[in-house]
Amino acid sequence: MSQRQTAQLRQIHAEAMLEFDQIQAAVWPGRMEALDDRRFYSISGAQWEGQWGEQFENKPQLEMNKVHLAVIRIFNEYRANRITVDFLPKDGETGEDVAEVCNGLYRADEQDSTADEAYDNAFEESVGGGMGAWRLRACYENEEDEEDTRQRVKIEPIFDADSTVFFDLDAKRQDKADAKRCYVLTSMTPEAYKDEYGELDADWPKDIQRPEFNWFSADVVYVCEHYRIEEKAEVINFFRGLVDDEPDMRVPQSELDEDPEKMPELQARGFRLVRTKRIKVKRVHKYILSGSKVLRDEGIIAGKCIPIIVTYGKRWVIDNIERFMGHVRLAKDAQRLINMQVSTLAEMAALSPREKPIFTPEQMKDHENQWADDAVKNFPYLLVNAMRDQDGNPMPAAALGYTKPPMVSPAAAALFQVAEQGLGDLLGNQQAGEEIEGNRSGKAVELIQQRLDMQVFIYMSNLAKAMKRSGEVWLSMQKDILIEENRKMKTLDPQGGVGSVVVNQPAYDKEKALEYVKNDVSDAALDVAVDVGPSSTSRRSATVKALTGIMAITQDPETLGVLNSLTLMNIEGEGLSDVRDWARGRLVKGGVIKPTEEEAQEMAQAAANAQPDPQAQYLQAAAAQAEADAAKKRADTVQSIASANLKDAQRQETLASIGMQEQNTRIATVQALQSVMQPPTPAKNSQ
């Protein structure tokens, strides 16, 4: 490494330390609250941490953890209504095929990288503490093959996001699309650190105000992933082909400079330069930092966006500082108050379980063991010694008095009710939504469930924003890594069916007489949308219910057949995959569902290789015979018409010949009469 590069890395490290110090000092109070919130509902005993535990030291510290149940209810609601990414053409029409390809590739990447773990962890942390995160990382498809350079995108979880993920203070957008720098702290054991980066060198600087982390300890070491957005100006050339309706081809000037033969090649193919434009190109540079130096320069990574996705529970920007919280923070005091009341009642019950009689030592003499063992042996009666007055007369052997258990004061009872009501208002009355009474109408149950869902909606909405950003980052990365020609890749359909697609496939448009690249993701102009709704299984169940309801009011046999096949295609159950495939094939053959390319090819091949059906052959032969008979009858009719026409022509000819003969006879007669009646011409005299 040159001295210039070394000096540049030192400068980057110094800038990163200074900025991280400023960020951490600004957000430290809110991040600590978020960490306490997550501990409060998830760790046993954490609800008594701090002053509450000190005040109740050496006393019962019970936990009636109702906050945990509220968080789990929201989490289960999310699991039943997964959020999916949907790629759409920017103009609504062009690029539908590429959009569908991207949808299949994204689902396949989610499955291969177990993205559900990342989404679930981020959502639960956002509901509990207020912030969760995951990362997208481009990795080799086959890590063990040195020659295989194909890459795919993995979606990985980030744990403890409220204490490990930091963006620059100028990033105000919720999805952090405007962020310029990002810091992600990752823990490692000292042994793993030595294996990866060598010996431990130095601690993270101690001048950080209110430091939250000890970078080197006996158990864990933290390293920092540092992402920086770098911008540079670049000239883009726009070339137009022979067809003016086609979009212009974008070629960076850097490509023309690197390849001198590219311009003549474009001109030979009929492209001409129509305009140029200077733009700013974003790149993401990644570094791995320790407390004293840059451990590794990862270089420019795929995509134009920082691949760290954050989601929030509830978020605000106040006094130029980002603040957030989850579902726990406002309920902590009410939960502590309930714990305190229950613990006090338990202590009262334990210390004074029943009334105890009070006797003098003389009354209990020689009977102490009997009274002590009464709770175990349950004697039918107990004995005491008689007492005498001052004159020696016997007195009744009665207890002098009884100890009384402490009574719950009206104020304490009212306080307990207030705490219960307040906690229910903050967390949502879950019992009303979960307890279904027999005499309660379905409409009332639906209204209760909608009221509970309104508390969940803000968390689902914020997660939808994060999922949308995740799709944008994924698409940006795919444009950089999908560069291989004719690359075959795995896809998934919405029902989880596995398929494949060939990207960057050269093709030829016969109608336009133009070469193009099929399934070219690098040039895709797509928007990213999100779909919030039930999971695939829940949707299928709802679809089956809707179809069976429609079948009850449908009389048309053809429609009933279609609805029956749709029901079988969406039914869930073990061992029914073949039935679903059969039902789908039936609908495809009937023209109800549009076939995929593979299904269309299979149908064409099956039609070509199909053996003729005897019944169909008979019907075809009968139809051919009927058609031949009809043709013969048509020919006979034509022949009859022609014969009639011929006879009519002959009659006309006969009539015409008769008329001609009569006319000739008349002419001959006239000529004969003229020759008889004309006098002879006199002869001339000879000279």
- Check residue 381 and give left, alpha or beta (phi > 0: left; psi -120 to 50: alpha): beta
DSSP bridge pairs for 277 = 236
Range of the domain at 638: 612-663
Q: CB atoms < 10 A from the CB of 52, how many?
A: 14
What pLDDT was estimated at residue 524? Answer: 81
DSSP bridge pairs for 136 = 155
Give yes or no for residue 157 having a pLDDT over 90.
yes
User: Is residue 52 located within the same domain as residue 141?
Assistant: yes
Give yes or no for residue 446 having a pLDDT over 60.
no
Q: Among 144-153, 372-381, 501-510, 612-621, which is the least confidently predicted range?
A: 612-621
What pLDDT was estimated at residue 16? Answer: 93
Let me know if residue 670 belongs to a domain.
Answer: no
Q: Find out whether 265 and 344 touch, Cβ atoms under 8 Å.
A: no
Helices H / strands E in the chain, number of each: 21, 21
Q: CB atoms < 10 A from the CB of 12, how many?
A: 17
Give yes or no for residue 541 having a pLDDT over 70.
no
What pLDDT was estimated at residue 677? Answer: 60
| pLDDT confidence band for 205 (50 / 70 / 90) | very low
pTM strictly above 0.85 = no
| End-of-domain residue from the set 578, 609, 640 | 609
Distance set, CA 320 to CA 26, 30, 168, 170, 173 (Å): 10, 13, 12, 9, 12
Mind listing the pLDDT tens digit for each residue in 274-299? 888 888 888 999 999 988 889 999 99
| pLDDT confidence band for 560 (50 / 70 / 90) | confident
Let me know if residue 48 belongs to a domain.
Answer: yes
User: Is residue 123 located within the same domain as residue 29?
Assistant: yes
What pLDDT was estimated at residue 118? Answer: 95
Q: Find out whether 288 and 296 touch, Cβ atoms under 8 Å.
A: yes
User: Is residue 617 located within the same domain as residue 591?
Assistant: no
Q: Which percentage of the chain shows pLDDT scores above 70? A: 79
Mind listing the pLDDT tens digit for each residue in 112-155? 998 999 999 999 999 999 999 999 999 988 888 878 888 999 99
Number of structural domains found in the chain: 3
Helix (H, G, I), strand (E, B) or coil at 64: coil
Q: Look-up: residue for tokens 């052959």?
A: 617
Average pLDDT over residues 496-505: 87
User: Is residue 74 located within the same domain as residue 11?
Assistant: yes
Q: Please report how many Cα atoms fall inside a 13 Å half-sphere around the Cα of residue 257, on the Cβ side.
A: 7
Rounded to the nearest 10 degrees, the angle between the axes of helix 66-80 and helix 410-427 is: 20
User: Is residue 178 located within the same domain as residue 322?
Assistant: yes
| pLDDT confidence band for 679 (50 / 70 / 90) | low
Q: Among 290-294, 376-380, 648-652, which is the least confidently predicted range?
A: 648-652
Exposure letters 339-373 (e unless 16+ CB within 10 A, then b)? bbbbbbbeebeeeeeeeeeebeeebbeeeeeeeee
Let me know if residue 310 belongs to a domain.
Answer: yes
DSSP, res 47: G
Which H or E element spans position 503?
strand 498-503
H-type alpha helices, 488-574: 536-551, 557-570
Contacts of 337 by beta carbon, 8 Å cutoff, 6+ apart: 415, 419
Q: Find out whether 559 and 553 touch, Cβ atoms under 8 Å.
A: no
Let me know if residue 418 belongs to a domain.
Answer: no
What are the strands, taking DSSP E only, across 555-632? Answer: none
Give yes or no for residue 438 having a pLDDT over 90.
no
Residue bearing the bigger pLDDT, 433 or 578 = 578
Q: Find out whether 304 and 129 touch, Cβ atoms under 8 Å.
A: no
DSSP bridge pairs for 165 = 184
User: Is residue 647 located within the same domain as residue 600?
Assistant: no
Mind listing the pLDDT tens digit for each residue in 161-184? 998 999 999 999 999 999 999 999
Can you give the C-alpha Rg of the chain in angstroms? 46
User: Is residue 170 located within the same domain as residue 210?
Assistant: yes
Average pLDDT over residues 509-534: 78
Let me know if residue 288 belongs to a domain.
Answer: yes
Amino acid at 19: E
Judged on CB neighbours under 10 Å (0-12, 13-18, 19+), 634 is exposed
Helix (H, G, I), strand (E, B) or coil at 32: helix
Give yes or no for residue 337 having a pLDDT over 80.
yes
User: Is residue 624 located within the same domain as residue 486?
Assistant: no
Let me know if residue 198 belongs to a domain.
Answer: yes
* Phi, psi dihedral angles at 640 (to 5 degrees): -65, -45
Let me know if residue 548 belongs to a domain.
Answer: yes
Average pLDDT in the chain: 80
| pLDDT confidence band for 206 (50 / 70 / 90) | very low
What pLDDT was estimated at residue 463? Answer: 93
Average pLDDT over residues 1-15: 88
Q: Look-up: residue for tokens 């920082």?
A: 306
Q: Please report how many Cα atoms fall inside a 13 Å half-sphere around the Cα of residue 634, on the Cβ side.
A: 6
User: Is residue 568 located within the same domain as residue 617?
Assistant: no
User: Is residue 54 located within the same domain as residue 123?
Assistant: yes
Let me know if residue 480 belongs to a domain.
Answer: yes
User: Is residue 300 located within the same domain as residue 260?
Assistant: yes
When mean pLDDT is compared over 200-204, 271-275, 437-441, the highest value belongs to: 271-275
Give yes or no for residue 43 having a pLDDT over 70.
yes
User: Is residue 619 located within the same domain as residue 602?
Assistant: no
The C-alpha atoms of residue 293 and residue 13 are separated, in whole angstroms, by: 6
